[in-house]
Amino acid sequence: MSEVALADTEGEGLETSRTVRLRVPARPEYIALARLALSGLADLAPLSEEDVADLKLALTEAVSNSVRHAYPGGDGFVSVAYELSATALEIEVVDDGAGFDPAVPPRLDGEELSEGGLGIAIIRTVTDELEIASRLGERGSRIRFVKRLQPDT
């Protein structure tokens, strides 16, 4: 079962912020729902099509990492929070699965990059801020990334 919540913080014009929260099963078919919520919120922001595509890619990588690595059996949930303010779009992806060491550099294991590899590098490249909270051998990971908005001129 997935959950969706939407909240508006009252304010005038650019003071208004919107928050959308999703909690979805950790299965690949729910990644599209996370991307759809991002598309809807991005329609309200001064973002270029390229920026929206970059954010969708970053979100896909973050949620895919939770689905693939935190819950290899698919038993668990991934929470995604989106917050749109006058100055930024912030996205946070949280799971309760197996943690990882974000300081480990990418390396090839056969044909795939290890955890902390290409996905995180992509997110870092296409966003303005990236925070990772996870520890190898512990439960739960949180990835938060931010795209600063350029006001319409």
Domains recognised in the chain with CATH numbers: 3-148 (3.30.565.10)
What is the spatial distance between Cα 123 and Cα 144, in angstroms, rounded to a whole number?
A: 10
Lowest-confidence segment of 9-13, 71-75, 130-134, 142-146 by average pLDDT: 9-13
State if pTM tops 0.85. no
pLDDT value at 146 more than 90: yes
Q: In this predicted structure, what is the pLDDT of residue 73?
A: 74
What is the spatial distance between Cα 85 and Cα 13, in angstroms, rounded to a whole number?
A: 10
pLDDT in tens, 93-137: 999 987 776 766 544 455 454 444 678 889 999 999 999 998 777
pLDDT in tens, 65-103: 888 888 877 789 999 999 999 999 999 999 998 777 676
